[in-house]
Structure 1
Amino acid sequence: MVSPVPTVLILPGWQNSGDAHWQSRWEALYGYTRVQQHDWMQPLRGDWMAQLEEYVLAAPTPVVLVAHSLGCMLTAAWAEHSQNTHKVQAAFLVAPGDPEREELRAALKSWSPVVKQRLPFTSQLFGSTNDPYCSFARAQEFATAWGAEFVDYGACGHINGESGLGDWPDGHDRLQALIARAI
């Protein structure tokens, strides 16, 4: 029996992902669905979790989450509370933002404490050695807590539009490999 093509949900981080971001490019290239949030500038964890729940419930096929930055924190928080995690096949987690960093705490106060519960689905986390929003050690800590395979992606900043990745074909190949392993 052939598995259905998964519904890929794009989970941008705080302030959304701009046109140059690989998430936006993947949305345009591959038809993936961006989970739209009510407020990208003042993100509230509960509100963002409710939005993700709506998209997961509406998905016509099993879901794959493609998260960046605060989207990684959203994945963990949602998975801790949702009764629908069985609908998710895998999570592709890139450059988690750390809302407990001193300079981010005030703006992201509803995101603390960070959920550190094992994810109930296959996951892979990409960390950068020079990410300005999350130390490399902290990214590894998140991967361990969530049960995610950790990928050292070298010195790529926040692995976003400013990282010069363009369409990030290597990332998309890795996403496809993750999906193949998860189904």
Structure 2
Amino acid sequence: MTLDERVLVLPGWLGSGPQHWQSRWEALHGFVRVQQSDWEWPLRGDWMAQLEDAVLAAPGPVRLAAHSLGCHLVSAWAAHSRHTARIAGALLVAPPDLERDETPLPVARWRPALRQALPFPARVLYSDDDPFATPEASRGLAADWGAVAESLGARGHLNAESGLGDWPEGVARLAALAAR
């Protein structure tokens, strides 16, 4: 990553607690969390507007570090924004399958998932035993988004409970995203 780039952290439904890799990255690396007005009942349009404001406020290129519903935020925002050229790359970690019957109502309201190709480099990292998406669903989203898909093995939802800690490997994957 270059010195003029800003990394925006995009948590999913309910946000990311203090032990989550996203929160740790903020503390360690100075990455900036995109705050949402309602983490419990996320409205796609509201979340997209917050991301748009954060991208426009950045002084230079932006990288996105999204988790869970934050991955769908990236997809929805990219489908509507005229400022996608500012994005140097997106790390999309553990995107949930919104079509699952068990999807909680606040998240299910984001159906249907927007599945068009992203106009910037992206990598989807997924777990083989994520309770919110099968590996097949994760690979399908990655393919539709034009992203590289990578399994991290059986690690749950790739959150604080997954034991990732400061997750330097994730930072390295974010930094390695190259322009198309």
Instruction: Assess same fold via TM > 0.5.
Output: yes
Corresponding residue for residue 62 of structure 1: 61
Question: Which is further off, 104-113 or 126-135?
Answer: 104-113
How many residues are matched?
Answer: 179
Q: For 1:5 and 1:96, locate their aligned partners in 2 and report how far apart those are by CA, in whole Å.
A: 28
Shift of residue 103 of structure 1? 1.6
**1:105 shift after superposition:** 5.0
SS in 1 for 2:106: coil
Contact 1:4–1:62 (CA under 8 A) maintained in structure 2: no
1:81-160, aligned counterparts within 5 Å? 81-104=80-103, 106-160=105-159
Alpha-carbon displacement from aligned partner over 1:45-75 (angstroms, at most 9, x marks no partner): 1110011001011111111010000000000
Residue number in structure 1 paired with 2:45: 46
* Counterpart residue identity of residue 95, structure 1: A
SS of residue in 1 equivalent to 2:102: helix
Q: Cα 1:172–1:4, aligned 2, differ >3 Å: closer, same or farther?
A: closer
CA shift, 1:108, in A, is: 2.0
Q: Percent identity?
A: 54
Q: Residue by residue, what CA displacement relative to the aligned partner does 1:119-154 show, whole Å, maximum 9, x if unpaired? A: 000001101100001111000000000000111111
Give the Å deviation of 1:5.
2.6
Counterpart of 1:182 in structure 2 is 179
Q: How far apart, in 2, do the equivalents of 1:26 and 1:143 lie?
A: 24
| Aligned-CA RMSD value | 1.3
Asked whether the equivalents of residues 4 and 59 of structure 2 are also in contact (C-alpha less than 8 Å), the reply is no
Which residue number corresponds to residue 23 of structure 2? 24
**Equivalent residue letter for 2:155:** C
TM-score, normalised by the number of residues in structure 1:
0.94
Q: What are the ranges of 5 or more consecutive residues in structure 1 without an aligned counterpart? A: none
Structure 2 residues without counterparts, runs of 5 or longer: none
Displacement after TM superposition at 1:9 (Å) = 0.2
Query: Displacement of 1:112 after TM fit?
Result: 0.5
Q: What's the CA shift for 1:100?
A: 2.1
Query: Scaled by the length of structure 2, what TM-score is found?
Result: 0.95
Counterpart residue identity of residue 106, structure 1: L
Q: What is the SS of the residue equivalent to 2:115?
A: coil
Letter of the structure 2 residue corresponding to residue 15 of structure 1: L
Retained in 2: the 8 A contact 1:128–1:159?
yes
